[in-house]
């Protein structure tokens, strides 16, 4: 793996004028080649945000964005409103599609008032 000094990656994120937001998944076949080798270059930068989706529903590259639509829409809305969220490192997912849910006897009650 090649090496880029931290000062260069920090300069890149500051030159862009905003945080660098990256959403990926280890289940994406491109992750080991296009994401993982470069994470150490940005991880120390306070302008770098990384969301790692750990979901069995992700089976390829296209599903990464689909599994994170709500997060991405929320991020875009904040950016449009002039906010620059600092997320840092976030791991989401962990769904269990085949889990036994028969023991659940109730759902969340609807709000009253």
pLDDT of 59 strictly over 80: yes
Whole-number average pLDDT of the chain? 80
pLDDT at 30: 92
pLDDT at 14: 59
Closest residue by Cα to residue 13 from 57, 46, 40, 38: 46
pLDDT of 42 strictly over 60: yes
pLDDT at 43: 77
Sheet of 89-93: strand order equals: 20-24, 48-54, 89-93
pLDDT of 23 strictly over 90: yes
pLDDT at 88: 87
């Amino acid at each position: 793996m090649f090496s880029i000094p931290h000062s260069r990656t920090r300069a890149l994120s500051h030159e862009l004028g905003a945080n660098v937001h990256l959403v990926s998944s280890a289940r994406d076949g491109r992750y080991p080649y296009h994401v993982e080798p470069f994470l150490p270059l940005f991880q120390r930068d306070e302008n770098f945000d990384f969301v790692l989706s750990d979901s069995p529903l992700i089976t390829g590259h296209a599903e990464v964005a689909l599994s994170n639509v709500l997060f991405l829409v929320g991020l875009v809305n904040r950016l449009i409103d002039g906010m620059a969220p600092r997320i840092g490192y976030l791991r989401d997912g962990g769904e269990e599609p085949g889990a036994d849910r028969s023991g659940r006897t109730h759902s969340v009650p609807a709000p009253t008032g």
